[in-house]
Amino acid sequence: MGTTVSTENIRVSGRKGRPNYPVAYKCQVAIAACEPDISVAKLAQAHGLNPNMVFKWRRQYRAGQLGKSRVETALMPVTITPEPAMPMATPTAPAMSYTDTMPVPASASSIEIELPSSTVRPKKQPVLTPRP
């Protein structure tokens, strides 16, 4: 694991020996708990803390309640590619009332999500409802 935090300046409060951890210590543990691939339970055990308390400190740190949070939101790039133009409907098609629905071909509109190991393409077909 390799993450250690100093416990030198911890005071014990008058409430049945419960330690009153300084905010700087809470921040150090919360920052360590925010690291990727870190087990909060193992981190808590290594420092003699209750895992629920470490989860609470991490949540407070991310919310900015333990000082300035260094956790940032990362935005994913989005690329919009134009689809080839669809052929227009033939004028000989029967007239549709506003209660009729017509499925849209899959090539007309689609969503594609590219992940590092795969591509996601939702299969539900949209339904085109003509206006009156």
Over residues 5-55, the pLDDT tens digits come to 666 666 655 566 677 888 889 999 999 998 888 899 999 999 999 999 999
> pLDDT above 70 covers what percent of the chain?
55
Can you say how many angstroms the Cα of residue 20 is from the centroid of all Cα atoms in its chain? Answer: 32
**Bridge partners, 20 (sequence order):** 11
pTM value is 0.43
Tokens coding 64: 């900015």
Tens of pLDDT, residue by residue over 65-118, are 887 655 566 777 877 777 777 666 555 555 555 555 556 555 556 677 777 777
Tokens coding 125: 């077909």
